[in-house]
Amino acid sequence: MAISRLRSMISLSKCKSTAMSLPFQFSIFRRASTQVSSQFESIGFIGLGNMGSRMANNLVKAGYKVAVHDINENSMKKFSDMGVDTKKTPFEVAEDSDVVITMLPSSSHVDNVYTGPNGLIHGGNLLRPRLLIDSSTIDPQTSRKLSETVSNCILKGKKDNWETPKMLDAPVSGGVLAAEAGTLTFMVGGSEEAYLAAKPLFLSMGKSTVYCGGAGNGSAAKICNNLAMAISMLGVSEALALGQSLGIAASTLTKVFNCSSARCWSSDTYNPVPGVMEGVPSTRNYDGGFASKLMAKDLNLAASAAKAVGLKCPVTFQTQKIFPVRNLSNSQQLQLPATL
């Protein structure tokens, strides 16, 4: 009830907008005329959802030889229509790639793609790729477990002084808009040597990278980042709803926030009120944004991590209560911040 009331208050000052949805559009491309500045040439990409499809497309634009896989045939067809090689299984992707990048919904999906039937390491302890990069948002424990599994494998063909395969956990921040524009931020855990080797790849899909330390630290940084974002989005949404109820236009209050101490990503880049900012989900009836069910998943990861280390996080647990996606039907699992 509180969620519906807050959403209704946010909608009070909804402006009529002519902004149209900007769906991801593939375009015919030409391979870059200059050679890509990376020791890796063939890149496999698994997971062609809202984020992964755009990240893979930017690798294609950068001139890499890309092979892709997804369980969604329509997603695969978009790439095959562009002339990009599509594979039936993760194992087939691995057999044709120097590097494999995964962008998947959850820890269980990642674990299955790595170790399940026809997974990346389905062929035993022999691996063709020198580097595996997981950009999914998952728990640090799964990242660390898979990193150890990969490090115990043997390379099929040693090249460029790589003695053993490596894995990096490299989740991203910036959302669909940044994935489209190639301006993502990568937070990376794992071997620093592997991180430096992969940096040109990251910068083909993003604008900045942060090395966070050993295996699992990228995943840890990501869940902390998303926890802070969820809390700030709730604060901005509630404050804008209160301001409108007190007679202040959302656009005016946003200007106040953005030149005052309340300024944050939720106010100046991803504003939750329709009509205040161009090109954001709130202007498109909350379409094409970050799904509330994924935010709920990330909050669960943060809460579980806090419990595991014995840290009391009262705001985290309170925030969880405002994302009750488990009780919603598929049609109600709206985009953040539509459910706020």
Topology alike, domains 2-18+221-336 and 42-214: no
Q: Is 65 helix (H, G, I), strand (E, B) or coil?
A: strand
Strand stretches in the chain, DSSP E: 42-46, 65-69, 85-86, 99-102, 126-127, 131-134, 154-155, 166-169, 172-173, 184-189, 206-213, 290-291, 335-336
* Phi, psi (rounded to 5 degrees) for 66: -115, 140
Token pair 């669909």 is found at 176
Catalytic residue selected from 222, 293, 297, 307: 222
The domain locations on the chain are 2-18+221-336, 42-214
The CATH-assigned architecture of domain 42-214 is: 3-Layer(aba) Sandwich (3.40)
How does residue 336 score in pLDDT terms, banded at 50, 70 and 90? low
CB count, 10 Å around CB of 264?
17
The pTM assigned to this predicted structure is: 0.82
CB of 335 within 8 A of CB of 287? yes
Burial class (CB in 10 A: 0-12, 13-18, 19+), 119: middle
Q: Is 82 helix (H, G, I), strand (E, B) or coil?
A: coil
Cα–Cα dist 13/196, whole Å: 48
* Phi, psi (rounded to 5 degrees) for 189: -120, 150
CB of 73 within 8 A of CB of 94? no
222 classed as catalytic: yes
Cis peptide before 337 (omega within 30 of 0): yes
Q: For residue 147, is pLDDT > 90?
A: yes
Cα–Cα dist 133/150, whole Å: 11
CB of 85 within 8 A of CB of 115? no
Cα–Cα dist 166/317, whole Å: 35
Looking at residues 248-266, what average pLDDT do you find?
A: 96
Token pair belonging to 10:
């946010």
CATH superfamily of 2-18+221-336: N-(1-d-carboxylethyl)-l-norvaline Dehydrogenase; domain 2 (1.10.1040.10)
Q: Which of 35, 153, 30, 45 is nearest to 96 (CA)?
A: 45
How does residue 104 score in pLDDT terms, banded at 50, 70 and 90? very high
Query: Tens digit of pLDDT for each residue in 149-159?
Result: 999 999 987 77
Cα–Cα dist 265/90, whole Å: 35
Token pair 């909804």 is found at 14
End-to-end CA distance of the chain: 11
Query: Tens digit of pLDDT for each residue in 173-212?
Result: 988 889 999 999 999 999 999 999 999 999 999 999 999 9
DSSP of 192-219: HHHHHHHHHHHHHHEEEEEEEESTTHHH
Query: Tens digit of pLDDT for each residue in 231-256?
Result: 999 999 999 999 999 999 999 999 99
Cα–Cα dist 244/9, whole Å: 7
CB count, 10 Å around CB of 303?
17
Query: Tens digit of pLDDT for each residue in 267-296?
Result: 999 999 999 999 888 888 888 777 788 889
CB of 128 within 8 A of CB of 164? no
72: Cβ contacts below 8 Å, ≥ 6 apart: 48
Query: Tens digit of pLDDT for each residue in 71-96?
Result: 999 999 999 999 999 999 999 999 99
Work out the widest C-alpha separation in the chain, in whole angstroms.
68
